[in-house]
Structures are given as structure tokens and as C-alpha cells.
Amino acid sequence: MNAPLPPSAPTAPGGLLLIGHAHHLARAPLPFITSLREYGRVVRIRIGTTPAYVVTDPALTRQVLVTDAAHFAKGGKIIDALRVFFGDGLATVADGETHLRNRRLMQPMFNKAHIATRGSAMIDQVSAMVGAWQDGEQRDVFADMNDVTLASFLVALFGTDLPAHLQGEFTRLMPEIMKGTIRQTILPSWVTRLPLPANRAHARRVARLRTLIDQAIDHHAGRLDAGTSIPGDAAGCPHAGRQAGLFETLLTAPEPLTRQHLQDEAITLLTGAIETTGATLAWTLYEVTRHPEVERRLRAELAAVCENRTLRFDDLEELPYARQVLQEAVRKYGPAWMVTRTATRDIDLGDHSIPEGADVVWSPYLHQHDPEYFPDPDTFDPDRWGPGSAATIRGAFLAFGDGRRKCIGENFAWAELHIILAAILQTWPHLELTSRPPRPQAVVTVKPDRLDMVFSRRTATVSPASVG
Ligand code: HEM
């Protein structure tokens, strides 16, 4: 006798006839996605008329990403829409031989020793930008964090002496490109192909971005041909001693990459690297202003390691409390909140069956707000990550994904997060929030809707009016 088929997953309440749960995802995506936990370990929702299965248990998500990865392919509507823009870059290329080959090719770009060769250049770039802010001026912190992150990433990727106009144009273009790309993923694909002004403007910007990337690649390739080098700072790394950026790995690949492929990888890396780290830093600074004790401990650790000198790359390993603070910001604020896969055949997940071709959704944000693993999940508590923190909470931390599609930039992200946080704290003894507490907005990442701060060189003083 055949075993009975497992039941299909429970459906989340509140779906409407033609739009399904799309209105919840559009209006209040984070409360909606975290609410699904109460209906089961796998919950069926509908986006329009198409069903999608949301995994609410981190152990099942690991099954999707690692153990049964062969049956849950990278895909889904969002990825299909992004492929128009990223081409076959690493994040959007389908699972299979091409992905594996490109992943093997790119992995050395982001190993720790190779990143270390770019350490001092990144620190110089970040310190110069952060040091140029006006004392006491009110600043849009999310925009600033994206700009600093972009500039330090360009220095890491393409080397130190990119023509200034390139950096300026990248900085102006990227926020518009991100907005346009989100629009493309939300709208039906036939609307994005109509000759509407917004579609034409997006296409023009993407074309311009590809031109800028070409110029950056040409510039970098020119330097490699000229053999420019300086003493390296990462003993044992084959790239030590060269001033080239991380992109050298692709420019000198044994089998030369086509120009289109180089562009696709550069666009993928730029978009993957900027808003994720930018949003994390903005939230970190916000939490630091709310928790004076966290700020005090961060500053004390930094002072003990650096005394009065500027940060060096090898200091980063000596800043465990900064790592706890950054990890807690990554936990609390996602920053990825919705990632998709497609079931390649009928398959059981937990107690339920998922039909072939269905979209499967997993959400780092959802898992990282699960009170079973993170008690009081809305509280910002860096001590969760202190020495001896439980393996169970590390198992539910899925911010960088897992398995063969795990974030390739994780080491880079930690290095960059530490550098930028340290540079800001070293340069500015006093940070003050000047806007109301920000609301998290889930778009590409979970970003603050508005976050203004004043950075000043004076330390906090007690005004006479507030004494006694
Ligand atoms: C806080 C920072 C970051 C977070 C939270 C993050 C998160 C993620 C996640 C969740 C994935 C997996 C998506 C999936 O499973 O489908 C991913 C993939 C990826 N990330 Fe990141 N990321 C961050 C920073 C970066 C940086 C700095 C880079 C570039 C240097 C980068 C480049 C990529 C690429 C290329 C992939 C695709 C990997 C593949 O499919 O093989 N990310 N990231």
C-alpha cells in the first residue's frame, strides 16, 4: 500500500480573490512575514494568483539551502526580473555548471588575505570621507552610509586612483538604479517593456552604468598592464605587493571573460555590496545613539586597541565587541528579508508537500526575529553574541544565507562594516539623533525610512538648564 501523501501547507488568512496576500506584502511586509510563524513551519501565501510557500523554521530553511539544495533552485519571479538587469552575474545566474565555475573563479577575490591587501586603501578612503563632514551639520545617515560604502568598495574592487568623475557618477546613479530595479521587479514584465518615460529613463541609466563600469575596467586593466605595484601588507597572499583591486582576479582569469560577463559581475557586486552594508551601518549608528552603554564600550575597546593612532587593518580582529554590535544590527534589521527558490520537483518539506515549480520563500529577517532563538527579538542586545553564545542562535542567524548560494561577500562585508564604524567613532566623539526614531522599510533591504544625525567633535556637555 502507498504511504499517504503529506498534506499541503496551511494557507495564511487574509488573502483576497485576485491579489492574494500581495496587499499585506506591499503595506506591512515585515509584520506580515513574521506573523506567518504562528500558522506553521511552512505556510502557503498567494502573490496575485500564484502560490508561494514561506518557510518559517530555520532548520527547514537550511534543508532548502543546503541538504536538499538540488531540489530548490535559485529562481522565482524576483530573480527572473533581476536577471534582466544583472545578466548572468553570480547572484542571478541559474544553478548549475556555469554558477559553480564562476563561483570558483570569484572565490579568491573575497578570501581574507586578499581583502587585507585592500585594507589600508579602504581605511584611507573611508577616513577621508568621514573626516570631510562638517562639524555639527545635520546629515542623512542612510545616504551617507551608502556613499561611504560605495566609495570604499570601488577602491577595493578597482584600485585607488579611479578618476574622480567616475566615483561621483557612480554615487549619483546607484540610488536611482536601485529604485528603478525595484520597480521592475514589482511590475508585471509586460509593463516594464512598454515605452513609458520611467522605463526609458531606467534603461538610459543602466546603459550609463555599464559605460562607467567599462571605464573602471579599462582603467584597472591599464594599471595591470603597466605593472604598477607597491609593497603589500598581506604576507602569503599571491596578490600581496600589488596595488591592483580585487577585480584583478577576473581580469587575469586563465580563460579570459567576455566584456559582457565582466560588466555583469561588476554590476552584481556593486548592487550586492552597497545597500546591504549601508543599511546595516545606518541601523548600527542609530542603535549606538540609543544605547549609551553600547557606545561607551565600543569607544573603550577602540581606544584600548588603537590608543591615539588611526585604525589599521590588523586591528579589526582585536575588536570583538564591535563585531557583536554589528552582528546584532545585522540580526535585528535583516537586511535581506525575502529570498526565493523554485522547487524543481514535488518534494516534502517538514510535514508538507511542495509542488514542482512552486516558489519557496525564506527570510533571514523572519528567522532572526524568532523568539525561540532570540528572546525579546526587538531588543538590541549585542551581548547575545558574547563569548559562549549558544550554537542554536548561530543556527538561526541566516543573514548571509547558506549552502552553495551563500553570500560570497561575507568576509568583505564584516571588514567594511568594522572599518566604517571604527572610522566614524574615531573621528566623531559625539553622535546625536535629530530625526524621530526611524521606521524599518522593507524594499530591497530593510532600510530606515528617515535617519538624520549630527556628528560633532565636542564631547557631550551638560547644558546649565539641565543641571539640578
Ligand atoms: C551585510 C551585508 C550583506 C548581506 C546581509 C548579504 C546577504 C546575502 C544573502 C542572504 C545572499 C544569498 C541569497 C540567496 O541565497 O539567494 C547573498 C548572496 C550574494 N552576495 Fe551578499 N550580502 C551582504 C554583502 C555583500 C557584499 C559586500 C558583496 C560583494 C562584495 C555581496 C555579494 C553577494 C553575491 C555576489 C551573492 C550571490 C552569491 C551566489 O549566488 O553564489 N554581498 N548575500
Q: Calculate how far, in angstroms, residue 2's C-alpha sits from the geometric centre of ligand 1.
A: 42
**CA-based nearest residue to 415, from 155, 224, 160, 229:** 155
For ligand 1, is residue 115 a contact (CB within 6 Å)? no
Residue 219: half-sphere exposure toward Cβ, Cα within 13 Å: 21
For ligand 1, is residue 361 a contact (CB within 6 Å)? no
DSSP annotation string for 294-338:
HHHHHHHHHHHHHTTSPP-GGGGGG-HHHHHHHHHHHHHT-SB--
Q: Which residues pair with 433 in a beta bridge?
A: 453
Q: Mean pLDDT for the chain? A: 88
Residue 3: the pLDDT is: 60
Per DSSP, helices labelled H in 187-241 are: 189-192, 197-226
Q: Calculate how far, in angstroms, residue 209's C-alpha sits from the geometric centre of ligand 1.
A: 20
Q: Calculate how far, in angstroms, residue 83's C-alpha sits from the geometric centre of ligand 1.
A: 15
For ligand 1, is residue 263 a contact (CB within 6 Å)? no
Q: Calculate how far, in angstroms, residue 415's C-alpha sits from the geometric centre of ligand 1.
A: 14
Kindly report the protein residue whose alpha carbon is nearest to atom 7 of ligand 1: 400
Domains and CATH numbers, the chain: 22-466 (1.10.630.10)
Q: Calculate how far, in angstroms, residue 89's C-alpha sits from the geometric centre of ligand 1.
A: 12
- Residues 252, 255, 261: CA angle, nearest 5 degrees: 80
* Cα separation values, 330 from 25, 278, 320, Å: 21, 11, 15
pLDDT tens digits, residue range 78-115?
787 788 778 889 999 999 999 999 999 999 999 999 99
Q: If pLDDT is split at 50, 70 and 90, which confidence band does 293 have?
A: very high
* Helix and strand numbers, DSSP H then E, in the chain: 18, 12
Q: Calculate how far, in angstroms, residue 422's C-alpha sits from the geometric centre of ligand 1.
A: 23
* Cα separation values, 277 from 176, 320, 346, Å: 18, 18, 36
For ligand 1, is residue 347 a contact (CB within 6 Å)? no
For ligand 1, is residue 79 a contact (CB within 6 Å)? no
Q: Calculate how far, in angstroms, residue 399's C-alpha sits from the geometric centre of ligand 1.
A: 9
Convert 183-208 to b/e letters by CB count within 10 Å (16 or more is b).
ebbbbeeeebeeeeeebeebeebbee
Rounded distance between C-alpha atoms, residue 468 and residue 465, angstroms: 8
Section 402-411 average pLDDT: 96
**CA-based nearest residue to 201, from 231, 229, 230, 179:** 179
Query: How many beta carbons lie within 10 A of that of residue 404, not counting itself?
Result: 14
This prediction's pTM: 0.92
For ligand 1, is residue 350 a contact (CB within 6 Å)? no
Rounded distance between C-alpha atoms, residue 86 and residue 91, angstroms: 8
For ligand 1, is residue 414 a contact (CB within 6 Å)? no
Which residues have C-beta within 8 Å of that of residue 179, sequence separation ≥ 6? none
Looking at mean pLDDT, say which of 172-186, 310-324, 391-405 comes out highest.
310-324
Q: What are the φ and ψ backbone dihedral angles of 362, each rounded to 5 degrees? A: -130, 155
Q: If pLDDT is split at 50, 70 and 90, which confidence band does 139 have?
A: very high
